[in-house]
Amino acid sequence: MKIAFFSTKIYDREFFDRYNTAHEIIYFEAPLNEQTVKLAKGCKAICAFVNDKITAAVIVALKDNGVELIALRSAGFNNVDIAAAKANGIVVVRVPAYSPHAVAEHAVALILTLNRKTHKAYNRVREGNFSLDRLTGFDLYGKTVGVIGTGKIGQVFCAIMQGFGCKVLAFDVIANKQLESTGVQYLPLIDIFQAADIISLHCPLNEQTRHFINKQTIAMMKEGVMLINTSRGALVDTPTVIDGLKTRRIGYLGLDVYEQEETLFFNDLSENIIQDEDIMRLLSFPNVLITSHQGFFTQEALAEIAKTTLANVDEFETGKIIKNIVV
Ligand code: NAI
């Protein structure tokens, strides 16, 4: 099958070329949007990533160009107008799990870096500054961690934090009995916010969770809480988090995702004048650490994304039951 790949980087090509034996892939660096959708002409499928905005207008244009399948090389599908895909008879597939360990471990990397300030120590020591001033951290052992969303990634994250000797509290719309048996305690959100030293978000973005971290929820949190978001940027209302940092209610902020990330992340903008005031304000805080959506970025995850995406296309092409269908 001829597939147009959007928003591709060198590593996408490397991993897809390694595992593709059957399909004709055309790689585009451009994101998928109303201007670029015509690049898909003549392709039966397109492959898109997290920041490709697949709106109703894009879907209608894809259909007009003969596209029948949207193969997402991501787990989240909040960037696709699912109702429009259904109405236009376009099948959407995704990669529901490629490495929950990759994302959970990255959340832990953010916690450890923010806490022990290894990013600052690295620069200091390289410049001959061996002082420990202002590098004080805290023991993770004995601290309380609140986990919002205990699906595939949240579960792995819970286990890692238990390994540090943390008390793990969780909130999910469905409690996981097996996780409870390991000592994770499900509580109402308010109790978690009041008790947690660290809060980590592992739920999907949807209408219920959009701006889940807002003025009200921040007000419930412990003074000096560490907030970690490796899920989706819009779970967090950025201006209120900036206020929370200014009042020191939020003591540490670790983000791998950002609501307006599509104009920034995955690109080298080091010579550009960045116009996004919120991200520039966030970057000005000494207790904020931002990575550009790299939670998924491990060898294992990239291999799994390529293999599963190609298997999804194979299943669609051969008329088999599509395991990873969204709609
Ligand atoms: P999952 O579907 O296995 O788990 C999500 C969990 O959130 C489920 O247990 C679900 O019941 C729960 N949930 C749904 N609504 C909720 C609500 N209102 N409050 C609390 N919990 C709720 O998903 P998985 O694989 O664990 O991924 C979680 C999120 O991580 C994804 O939605 C995606 O946004 C993000 N992600 C980020 C990556 C990165 O590179 N930073 C890579 C992959 C995923």
As for how many domains the chain has, the answer is 2
Best mutation site among 94, 173, 256 for ligand 1 pocket (most ligand atoms within 8 Å of CB)? 173
Residue 138 domain-assigned (yes or no): yes
Q: Do 120 and 76 belong to one domain?
A: no
Residue 182 lies in a domain: yes
Determine the atom of ligand 1 nearest the C-alpha atom of 100.
25
Among protein residues, the one with the nearest Cα to ligand 1's atom 23 is 151
Q: Please check whether residues 150 and 195 belong to one and the same domain.
A: yes
Q: Are residues 120 and 225 in the same domain?
A: yes
Mean pLDDT over the full length of the chain? 97
74, 179, 202: residue to mutate for ligand 1 pocket, most atoms within 8 A of CB: 202
The pLDDT confidence band at residue 179, using thresholds 50, 70 and 90, is very high
Token duo for residue 132: 């420990």
Q: Are 133 and 271 within one domain?
A: yes
How high is the pLDDT of residue 44? 98
Indicate the pTM of the whole model: 0.94
Would 324 be classed as within a structural domain? no
Q: Are residues 233 and 310 in the same domain?
A: no
Instruction: Collect all residues with Cβ–Cβ distance below 8 Å to 282 and sequence separation of at least 6.
Output: 238, 241, 242, 245, 253, 255, 288, 290
pLDDT digit string, tens, across residues 233-252: 999 999 999 999 999 999 99
- The H or E element that residue 11 is part of is helix 10-19
- Whether 75 is in a domain gets the answer yes
| 103 in contact with ligand 1, CB cutoff 6 A | yes
Range of the domain at 212: 100-290
Share of the chain above pLDDT 90, in %: 100
231 lines ligand 1 (CB under 6 A): yes
CA–centroid distance, residue 150 to ligand 1 (Å): 8
CATH of the domain at 31: 3.40.50.720
On whether both 112 and 150 belong to a single domain, the answer is: yes
With a 6 Å cutoff on the Cβ, whether 304 touches ligand 1 is no
Please indicate, yes or no, whether residues 42 and 144 belong to a single structural domain of this protein.
no
Same domain, 110 and 173: yes
State the Cα–Cα distance between residues 55 and 179, nearest whole angstrom.
37
Determine which residue's CA is closest to atom 36 belonging to ligand 1.
231
Domain assignment of residue 325, yes or no: no
